[in-house]
Amino acid sequence: MMIRFPLALLALAFGGAVLAADGPRLHLIPEPVSVTERAGSFTLDAGTMIRVSSQDPDLAQTASWFADQVHTTVGKKGKINLELNKESDAELGKEGYTLSVTTAGITIKANAPAGVFYGLQTLLEMIPPGGGAIPCADIRDYPRFGWRGLMLDVSRHFFNKNEVERYIDEMARYKYNTFHWHLSDDNGWRIEIKSLPELTRVGAWRVSRTGRWGTLLPPLADEPADDGGFYTQDDIREILAYAKARYITVLPEIDVPAHSLAMIAAYPNLSCTQLLYPVNPGSRAPERQDNVLCVGNDSVYLVLQKVFGEIAALFPNPYIHIGGDEAYKGFWAACPKCQKLMKDEHLGSVEELQSYFVKRMEKMLNGLGKKLIGWDEILEGGLAPSATVMSWRGMSGGITAARMGHEVVMTPWDYCYLDLYQGDPSVEPPTYGICRLTDCYKYDPVPDSIDPKLIIGGQGNLWTESVPTFRHAEYMTWPRAMALAEVYWSPKSKRNWDDFTGRMEAELPMLDAEGINYARSAFDAVALPAHDKLGRLAVRFTTEIKGLDIYYTFDNTRPDSHSARYRGEPLEFPKGSTILTVTTYRDGKPIGERISLTKEELEHRSQEKHHEY
């Protein structure tokens, strides 16, 4: 197969890394294992073509994917060569590649088509703005972890098929290979189950609300449930094929036994109380609202057998995620069916009852040819024999599971939750917690004293209570997911924050060219309030990215480069002042947000355990 692409379309489609006047000319994310830059360049022109040396159908599809990005036609000559190794290179594995750019042409070699695909992603980053000359270089690259994922919650807010596919495209650029799809929760059931039509007829819809999650008005009497949506099984198949062409596997999650209100709204007999509940539109849940499946009810397992049976038939991923998190067990303690089951199975606590449920789910999934994975709460009461743990409540759950010999996907909330604040809350859309770009980049998924082979990878998680639109989903994802991509792909020894931020900045024009929304929060000032020995409030400032100047005012005016410049010493409020305003500049030009913080807010932050907003 030979494919031709016109140079002008390359420039239109990709943008790429910014060529520096001196120093390295390549700005790649994630950073490859080895890069040797050489003198000279390869010039793309209208006659440049691709040549594929193998008849492998996946490789042919990958070449066609690359061609489609630039609207190519088939030609007969090739100066970009895509090759599969005749003898396997053990170090490269299934996803590694070598890429060589000389003045005469480009060659990408790999053991498998996935490696060629990742080599092409690197090549796309090497194309400079305007197309043309690609710097000569030899690159050898392979991932540190086999599981490199992002999770998108489509229950709290529904994203249509085109938006999901766009998210998958954005993941592929940074060599992610797992799309974790959170398909059910209290706020919406998002996948068609043909044998259980009420799940989507009722569970996929709620009353329409706009505003801050957790404060919204509950459904009113006779109010239509017209907000929501779901994916048909044909939609699922199309998305799966789309992801497969980009070497991304899709992990489906049905969150049970808790977070099941949308399922219970469709089938009220599945809860302990069997009360009628509407799908929650984002209002604060009553303390006694039962969103947990009745573990002692045989009907629950009959329904779940149908649900997971259809999901197992749809999704090729060897895993199915069952959630297992945040299960309130008070209803189980008062439920005659659950209490009978505990007696019959000799279970001493409701925690052991949850373990019974998880182990039963594992047997069900194993019978469907799948492996179970769940959040770290599945450890409570005893872990199912072959379960994989996704550790979100910090690293401790993953450490416990690994010491028991179980495989672990690390996704601790304070480093990997993309729905948290990424900059100062005063200038960010409302959410909770804090996870800066720095936090994402500087964490490591492998704890000390743990067998690294049991940490199979990690992922970033985007919960969408506070993410009502796809544009905002992009804003919360990028550039933090660039940092996580490097954590999961690149060698730990190559981790360098200052180098990463330079490469990240070189990548931002590509995002602009593609219309991808992203946050510039890392360019903002970071406030560090505390009290001195005399109990007086003092505020220090720093920045995540080096080389920025901070200017400030206390007099309610807007600071600029003519205002007082922050010199590193703690600032105290002058008498009568109640507001401190800061902004950041680089080379005399504004680069960060203007942030105004009241003395009262800073006092409050200084009392908090984690106050580095």
Whole-number pLDDT of residue 607: 87
Do 269 and 288 sit in the same domain of this protein?
Answer: yes
- Which domain-ending residue is among 514, 539, 561? 514
Give the separation between CA 71 and CA 49, rounded to whole angstroms.
13
- Which domain-ending residue is among 456, 488, 514? 514
Do 370 and 476 sit in the same domain of this protein?
Answer: yes
> What is the CATH number for 352?
3.20.20.80
Do 455 and 588 sit in the same domain of this protein?
Answer: no
Q: Is 259 in the active site? A: yes
The verdict on residue 252 lying in a domain is yes
Domain range for residue 62?
A: 2-141
The residue annotated as part of the active site, out of 157, 182, 259, 321, is 259
Do 537 and 593 sit in the same domain of this protein?
Answer: yes
In contact, 474 and 520? CB cutoff 8 Å? no
In contact, 525 and 582? CB cutoff 8 Å? yes
- Which domain-ending residue is among 95, 115, 141? 141
The verdict on residue 613 lying in a domain is no
> What is the CATH number for 595?
2.60.40
Do 253 and 284 sit in the same domain of this protein?
Answer: yes
In contact, 264 and 285? CB cutoff 8 Å? no
Positions of the chain with pLDDT lower than 70, given as ranges? 1-24, 69-78, 129-131, 287-288, 609-613
The verdict on residue 326 lying in a domain is yes
The verdict on residue 261 lying in a domain is yes
Do 472 and 422 sit in the same domain of this protein?
Answer: yes
Cα distances (angstroms) measured from residue 613 to each of 84, 478, 483, 518, 559: 49, 19, 19, 19, 20
Whole-number pLDDT of residue 384: 86
The residue annotated as part of the active site, out of 31, 125, 185, 362, is 185
pTM greater than the 0.85 cutoff: yes
Do 36 and 173 sit in the same domain of this protein?
Answer: no
Do 79 and 166 sit in the same domain of this protein?
Answer: no
Do 15 and 153 sit in the same domain of this protein?
Answer: no
The verdict on residue 96 lying in a domain is yes
Tell me the DSSP string of 195-237: T-THHHHTTTEE----SSTTSSPPPPTT----EE--B-HHHHH
The residue annotated as part of the active site, out of 68, 91, 234, 326, is 326
The verdict on residue 612 lying in a domain is no
> What is the CATH number for 40?
3.30.379.10
In contact, 240 and 250? CB cutoff 8 Å? yes
Whole-number pLDDT of residue 77: 61
Helices and strands, counts by H and E, the chain: 18, 27
- Domains held by the chain: number: 3
Do 217 and 355 sit in the same domain of this protein?
Answer: yes
The verdict on residue 426 lying in a domain is yes
Give the per-residue SS3 of 133-202: EEEEEEEEECCCCCEEEEEEECCCCCCCHHHHHHHHHHHHHCCCCEEEEECEECCEECECCCCCCHHHHC
Do 137 and 176 sit in the same domain of this protein?
Answer: no
The verdict on residue 519 lying in a domain is no
Question: What is the H or E stretch that residue 433 is in?
Answer: none
Give the separation between CA 169 and CA 176, rounded to whole angstroms.
10
Whole-number pLDDT of residue 76: 55
Do 188 and 129 sit in the same domain of this protein?
Answer: no
Whole-number pLDDT of residue 254: 98
